[in-house]
Structures are given as C-alpha cells and as structure tokens.
Structure 1
Amino acid sequence: MSAATFPDPALDEKPTPGKKTAVLAGGCFWCTEAVFEIMDGVDDVISGYSGGTKEDAKYDIVSTGRTGHAEAILITYDPAVVTYGQLLKIFFSVAHDPTQLNRQGYDVGTQYRSAIFYADDEQKRIAEAYIKQLDDAGVLSKPIVTQVAPLDKFYTAEGYHQDYARGNRANPYIVNVSDPKVAKLKKLYPGCVRKRN
C-alpha cells in the first residue's frame, strides 16, 4: 500500500491552534505509541487502557481479556499542525491493521482490538465517515472492523510501559513489530514526522 492509495479524510476538524486529545486502540500499545510519538504536531502519547467494564485497569488483569479494556493510547496534539482526521489516516494506514478482529498479528484477544474512543460528537462523525469512506473505496482488502465507541475513561498504564520502544531498543518485539511500523511512517509520510526525534 502506498501513501497515494490512502485518501485523506473527506470530513475533518478545522485546523485551529490549541490542544486536543484522541484515544485510539490498535493492538499492543508499545507499537501505536512508537508511531504517534514521532509525529509532527503530537505533544505527548501515553499508553493505557480504555473501553472496559471494570472500575480499574492494570496490565496483569487487562492482559487476561476479562476486563473488557483495550490497550490504547492517549494522544495530545495540536490541530493547527495535525488534525484528528490526519491522525486517523496514520492509525489506519500505518499503526495497525484495522481489518483484524480482536487481534493484531500474534497478539490475540479483545484487549488487542481495533477501536476509536471518541471524546465528542465531532470525533465520532469524523471516525465513522472515514471508515465508510475507506470501505466504500475498497482501500483495504477486507472490511474495517474498528469499534467506534464513546470514551468513558482512560487509565494510564504502568510506568514501565511508557515510551517502551524508545527504552527497549533490543527487545525482539520492538525490533520485529514496532520498528517496521515506524519505518513505514517515515517512508510513506515523511512530512508527518517531526524533524527532531
């Protein structure tokens, strides 16, 4: 898949200065965090958990798949530099495979599901419209299975999960799963990458 085959969202927020947040789930949060934290206009990315039924979320319980939470990331961004729709474009084209149900590669379970947790009606409209746009255009070989759900709560993951790819360069999972996604972002969308990382 090339950058040319992946369209920009037809519906997006206005690029106004300020700070906004987006919560996305696309498999292991080490990988999604690594992709988004090098993007221009992204101020911070926090790994955590969202979308569950339990009142608290800790890795040892979430990883069993029994809490309903997904591994997710909280992105703080400046919409004057990168819009919500542009974040979704990277989410769908680079950060994960949105056609895999309740898994990403060898990571299997609802905690690895593809999900967009929207903070308001505008985010919901943009997400739903973009999924329809991509499916209608047949951009991916299979239908998108990404869940679009309201953001109830985001639980910050344990400290050792934060900036994991950056601090664990030799970890085989980072080398084989995370690094190729970062390389794909740099290759397909070099203009989206911060000049200094």
Structure 2
Amino acid sequence: MTRLILALVLTALSLSSAPAPAEEWRAIPAPTTSIVETGPQTAVFAGGCFWGVQGVYQHTRGVISATSGYAGGEAGTAHYERVSRGDTGHAESVQVVYDPAQVSYGALMQIFFSVVHDPTELNRQGPDVGPQYRSVIFPQTPAQEESARAYIGELNRARVFPAAIVTQIEENAPFYPAEAYHQNFLARHPTHPYIVQEDLPKIDALARLLPSAFRADPVLLPLTN
C-alpha cells in the first residue's frame, strides 16, 4: 500500500502545472554542534500548513511517527475551526517522535530549514497567511532549546538566506493532536490541488537534496476513521 501511495505521489508531482523551481530548494548546512540523546525523543516544529510538514517528516529516516496538531495556545481552542481564526496563539504544528540513533535533532532542524518551509516569511507560508502559519520551533528539552538557538544564530551569521530568519522559539508549549481527517493527509490525498502545488515539491526536494535522510515508504499514523 505504501508503495502505491508513493507512486501516486510521484505521478501527481509530475502532473503539477507549476512545480516549485529547483533553485527554491537547497540543502542548508547542518548544525556544527550536536546534542546527545538516547532512546525515542520528541520534537515539535511549525512551518505553515501541517499537511506538508507532517508529510516531509513521515518520509524522513529515523522518524517513528509524525502527528499534525496545534501548539502555542490553550487546550480549549486547539481545534481547526478555532485555530483558523488566527487569534488563539496556536501554530499548526507537527510532533515528531524519532530515534536519535538514526536521525539527530540537528538533522531534523536541517530538514526544517532546508525543505519544510521558508524561515524568512513572517506569519505566513506561501498562500497561507496568519500567525497560525508562523515559523516556530517548540523545544521539548533545554538541550533542544540551546541547540535551536545556536543553529539559528549560525545560519543568520552565515547569511544562508537572503533575509533574516524569523523562526521563533517557544518554550513550554503543550502539543494537541489535530483532528483525524488532517492526519496522513498528504499520503491519503496525493492529488489534492494544494498538496500537488505546495507540498509534493517538498518531498521531492528531500529526496534530491538530502537523500540519506529520505525514506520512500512514509511512516503513517494508524487511524481508526
């Protein structure tokens, strides 16, 4: 089934009338320092619509699971219709559970800045506008926070991007899973116009630019409905 899904993804990508230009995607240098983690770990990233963010990390080696959801606001407003108003403090986010023996936190951040999103866009990503689409790293440990701040500093000093990185770092933000219909959205709807236009190029970029990090068969969440 997963190979069939991948075939549909690649077919939809080839049919896209306006794929992202190749020059928009480039492998950003990895962090110069790393943190030591053992056993399954959790990271949370926000970089625009969570459909694509989840899809990229589901195609990343060493990722155990990737769950779309909300972070930055209260539990009572952590549902799609409310978050979409843009006034809850939430960002559409993805919780990534990973095996640090296979993929490091630094490698996940490298993917985040290389292909997941444009970290120089403030409160938007592509056609999606509002603070719920802001660029955020939600560190789950002090070591992750220190690593994220250091990495952003490195990238800004090296002027890797043509503008300053606006990615925020927000601590102590609980993560709330999104509704079931948002989970595995890219894999379940590879021909959806938004997915074809905005998100399949990210999967292609991950495979081309960071091939050692790419897995062809995505790790999907088990869904009951």
Tell me the TM-score normalised to structure 2 length.
0.83
Contact 2:75/2:176 (CA < 8 Å) preserved in 1?
no
Question: Is the 8 Å Cα contact of residues 26 and 115 (structure 2) preserved in structure 1?
Answer: no
Aligned CA distance change for structure 1 residues 159 and 175 (closer, same or farther; 3 Å): same
Which of 20, 23, 27 is 2:48 aligned to? 27
Partner in structure 2 of residue 171 of structure 1: 192
Which residue of the partner structure matches residue 32 of structure 2? 10
1:110 equivalent to 2:131? Answer: yes
Map of 2:70 onto structure 1 = 49
Q: Deviations over 1:82-141 (max 9, x none)?
A: 011110000011000000000001100000000001111101000000000000001111
Q: Which residue of 1 aligns with 2:163?
A: 142
Q: 1:2 corresponds to which letter in structure 2?
A: R
Measure the CA separation in 1 of the matches of 2:196 and 2:116: 15
Aligned partner of 1:126 among 127, 143, 147: 147
> 183, 194, 197: which is aligned to 2:215?
194
Distance 1:13 1:164, change over 3 A: same
User: 1:6-33, CA deviations, whole angstroms, 9 ceiling, x for partnerless residues?
Assistant: 211012212x541000000000000100
Question: Deviation of residue 56 (structure 1)?
Answer: 3.6
Equivalent position to 1:36, from 45, 48, 57: 57
| Percent of pairs with identical residues | 47
Which structure 2 segments of 5+ residues have no match?
1-24, 219-225
**Alpha-carbon spacing, 1:42–1:70, altered in 2? closer, same or farther (3 Å):** same
Q: Which runs of 4+ in 1 moved over 4 A?
A: none
User: How many Å apart are 1:195 and its aligned residue?
Assistant: 5.1
1:52 alignment partner, SS class? coil
SS at match of 1:48: strand
The aligned residue for residue 118 of structure 2 is 97
Measure, in 2, the Cα distance between the counterparts of 1:165 and 1:11.
32
Measured in 2, the distance between the counterparts of 1:165 and 1:195 equals: 14
The CA distance in 1 between the partners of 2:163 and 2:80, in whole Å, is: 31
Say which SS state the counterpart of residue 70 (structure 2) adopts: strand
Q: Give the SS at the match of 1:86.
A: helix
**Closer/same/farther in 2, CA of residues 159 and 196 from structure 1, 3 Å limit:** closer
Give TM-score, length-normalised by structure 1: 0.95
2: CA distance, partners of 1:166 / 1:54? 27
Q: 1:151, CA displacement in angstroms?
A: 3.2
Larger Rg: 2
Contact 1:96–1:104 (8 Å) recurs in 2 = yes
- Pairwise CA distance, 1:186: 0.5
Checking the alignment, whether the CA contact within 8 Å between 2:77 and 2:83 is kept in structure 1 is: no
1:79 paired residue number: 100
Kindly indicate whether the alpha-carbon contact (under 8 Å) linking 1:119 and 1:150 is maintained by their aligned counterparts in 2.
yes
SS in 1 for 2:68: strand
Tell me the residue number matched to 2:6: none
